[in-house]
Amino acid sequence: MDRETRLKRLQFRAWHRGTREADFLIGGFFDRYGQDWSEKEMDWFEKLLAEEDVDVMAWAIGTLPVPEAFDGPQMDAMQQLDYIDATK
């Protein structure tokens, strides 16, 4: 699949999580950083999307330790939470 199609697919999946809170956190993260990701970073995000929303949100806000598979610079960026638009 070409890059643009993959990004559109990831964006849709990021914004259709099932709860509004997860949409803002995961979708907002994608919108802020996704267009600049390498293939490896897109792979990481795709794996993250397979995880339960409550786990991803807990890792992002620091209430659960981040598993080794997701620890690193992308999770560090997600944990900043400065990409969430609270006006929506």
The structural domain count of the chain equals 1
**54 belongs to a structural domain:** yes
**H helices present in the chain, as ranges:** 3-15, 20-22, 28-33, 39-49, 53-61, 73-80
Phi and psi at residue 22, to the nearest 5°:
-65, -40
Give the other-Cβ count within 10 Å of 71's Cβ: 12
Question: Locate tokens 């970073």: which residue?
Answer: 41
| Per-chain mean pLDDT for the chain | 94
Report yes or no on 86 lying in a domain.
no
pLDDT of residue 84: 77
- CATH classification of the domain holding 11: 1.10.150.250
Residue 70 maps to a domain:
yes
- Its domain, for residue 51, covers 3-80
- 87 belongs to a structural domain: no
Arithmetic mean of pLDDT, 4-21: 96
pLDDT in tens, 23-66: 999 999 999 999 999 999 999 999 999 999 999 999 999 999 99
- Given a contact cutoff of 8 angstroms between Cβ atoms, the answer to whether 39 and 22 are in contact is no
Domain assignment present for residue 85? The answer is: no
